[in-house]
Amino acid sequence: MFIKFMIVFCVISSLIDIEAYEFDRDLSYRMALLSSAAYSDDPETCLSNIFGQHFWQHVTQDTFRHDTLDSISAFVAVSHPTKENFQNKGKVLGYWKVAFKGIYRKLNKTFIDNVMKYGNYSIWITGHSLGAALASLAAMQIVIDYPLLANRIVLYTFGQPRVGDHEYAMKHDQMVNHSFRVVDYIDPVVHLPPCRYLEFERACATGNDDPYHHGLEVFYDTDDMKKSSNFTLCKGLPKDEDMHCSDKYTFRCFENTRDCISFHTHYYNIDLGEFPTISNCSLKRYMERYEAIHDKI
């Protein structure tokens, strides 16, 4: 059994004005749905259901298979602690890098052909869970390969694990200007792989090879995350690991992950994995099915 890696979702779009860009809850909601479409066998239909029948001109899907990536459990980064240099911008987990290189190599030509064709469009990059880690790497790689595209990139991730070390995080902050890492309450995956916690300083260590998040965390501190819910832009200290945001719940789920996992699978009250499967990304059909299922419980 192989993992399907159409999880990094890159969209060339004319919908937003980069020059005046800040976190936008409506765009975040749409990005979450986009990241969910990556789980579908038919992403083009999914996108049409989300944004309208004629919004997309074409959708390119590809898959990447690798003999070491043969089960979904492998993405738990703690099981793969080796780190590798990423373009001299710090170190990232080897697992992320292997998965990313496979899919980026296949989709890069399609991506740049569309960028050249639609020269004034913004570039949306998004992903959920493992896809969030790959989206982080994609944004960084695009800026490295095509520096003139930096101001056109908008990155939203959901339930993102730590991708690299402190050096990678700081380089990412410098190079990817419009980056938002959305976290749903006590989502346990955002605390993996665990940082080296400094008890006295109540902070994640920033040494070489220490796992560390990049910014900007957007934290929903509620057990019922909705598009209308209040959120916090986490700009406190330590930078990108603000102890007043999701990091304050670091140890809450380690002993009983089962109670927390739904906060990883669901963003904006949408099960991102099931959304395309049971409704082909139609919100109306999803809600009808959701209500029918829960009426039986």
pTM, 2 dp = 0.81
* Residue 107 CB contacts under 8 Å (≥ 6 apart), including other chains: 10, 60, 62
Sign of torsion over alpha carbons 105, 107, 113, 117:
negative
- Residue 194: which region, alpha, beta or left (left: phi > 0; alpha: psi -120 to 50)? beta
Radius of gyration of the chain (CA): 18
- What number of other Cβ atoms are within 10 A of residue 159's Cβ? 27
Condensed to tens digits (0 to 9), the pLDDT of residues 252-261 reads 887 677 779 9
Residue 4 pLDDT more than 50? no
pLDDT digits (tens, 9 = 90+) for 164-217: 999 999 999 999 999 999 999 999 999 999 888 887 677 888 887 899 999 999
Per-residue model confidence (pLDDT) at position 180:
97
Confidence category of residue 65, pLDDT binned at 50, 70, 90: very low
Decide if pLDDT at 249 tops 60: yes
Spatial distance between the Cα atoms of 130 and 160, rounded to a whole number of angstroms: 7
The DSSP 8-state label assigned to residue 88 in this structure reads T
